[in-house]
Amino acid sequence: MARNAAKPDPESYRYCTVRPLYSLVFILPMLLAFQVGAAYYFGGNLLATHHLKRVLEYFGATAALLPAVLVATVLLIQHLLRKDPWQLRPEVFAGMLGESILWMCPLAVMMGLAGRLQAGGASGNLAMLDGVLQAFGAGIYEEFIFRLTLISLVLLVLVDLLHLPKEPMAVLAVLLAGAAFSLYHLTTEEIRAFPNLPWPEVVFRAAAGAYLGALYVCRGFGITVGAHALYNVYALVAGHG
């Protein structure tokens, strides 16, 4: 008689890192830093937050902090729906930071192979600070749009509603989100020049988006945000140097 597969330990490190509450607390310092920077330094001119604000304005919500509130609210709702415990273990966050650094490294290698690194960019301490804060914001809000929201919606439709097999649908969701992530970064001029797109850049962003999607599926939202944000900071500092 076959034995039942062992259930995951709800207090294990791996299980804790994918909990929404751990993700929220882990990204909270970056989220607050970005919001302070948006309010006092660079005006919050980030494409992802701009589009989130446009969606919220459509429903009559116009407060400046609503994108941050939306991210926190979604994670808290997920926490409540999962009925996870409220207790948190501080050592888990140290592990999440270490994993974020580790999983950022393949993105840095991909950037080098793609020849994306360019000198210049931020000039001066204040400009560098602005760049770092916006790197945090991009990591949070782009992951919220393309991984937490888009991948979750695709899996909801294909797996939960249509009852298609989960594993291949997860791969499909990751690839779709990666393609959408790449196309999202095209400028209006580049889109108008189709099919003469900057294909090396398009392919790099699609590959990076698919990588982040796979990381989200396997390691959760918080670590994916950390890897994305740290990669943005690395690209900024390396380019500045």
Domain count, the chain: 1
158 falls within a domain: yes
The pLDDT score that the predictor gives to residue 103 is 98
The pLDDT score that the predictor gives to residue 92 is 97
pTM of the model: 0.90
225 falls within a domain: yes
The pLDDT score that the predictor gives to residue 45 is 65
Report how far residue 102's alpha carbon sits from residue 63's, in angstroms, rounded to the nearest whole number.
36
Evaluate whether 214 touches 93 at the Cβ level (below 8 Å): no
7 falls within a domain: no
1 falls within a domain: no
Six token digits for residue 118: 């360019």
4 falls within a domain: no
196 falls within a domain: yes
The pLDDT score that the predictor gives to residue 43 is 60
5 falls within a domain: no
The pLDDT score that the predictor gives to residue 95 is 98
The pLDDT score that the predictor gives to residue 168 is 97
pLDDT in tens, 61-113: 666 688 899 999 999 999 999 999 999 999 999 999 999 999 999 999 998 88
Amino acid (one-letter) located at 127? A
Domain hosting 143: range is 13-80+91-240
Report how far residue 73's alpha carbon sits from residue 99's, in angstroms, rounded to the nearest whole number.
25
150 falls within a domain: yes
Q: Which residues of the chain have pLDDT under 50?
A: 1-5, 118-121, 123, 241
